[in-house]
Amino acid sequence: MSAADNPQAFPNTGNNTWGLSPEPGMTLRDWFAGQALSGLCSNPNNTSFARKDGDAEMAAVAFMAADAMQI
C-alpha cells in the first residue's frame, strides 16, 4: 500500500496553543483496523480470543477489513 493510498489520520501540525510538536499521527489503515477490531471484539459470539492465537487472528481480520474499506 503506497503512502498516497494510506494517508495520515489525525496528524498534529504543531500549529496549536499547547505547544505540541508536529506528529504524523496514525495511518488511515490503522484507524480503520481499530474501528473494525472494536466491532469484532463487541460480538459476544466471537470465540477467537479463547484460542492461543486468537489475538493475532483478530488483528489480521481487522486489517483485512481495513484494506477492504480503502478500495
Q: What is the mean pLDDT for each group of 10 consecutive residues in the chain (71 residues)? A: 66 72 82 90 74 81 88 63
Chain Cα centroid distance, residue 40: 13
> pTM to 2 decimals?
0.68
**What local confidence, expressed as pLDDT, does residue 11 receive?**
72
Q: What is the pLDDT of residue 49?
A: 66
Q: Exposed, middle or buried: residue 10 (CB in 10 Å: 0-12, 13-18, 19+)?
A: exposed
The pLDDT value given to residue 42: 85
For 40, phi and psi rounded to 5 degrees?
-65, -40
pLDDT value at position 34?
92
Q: Cell 471484539 appears where? A: 41
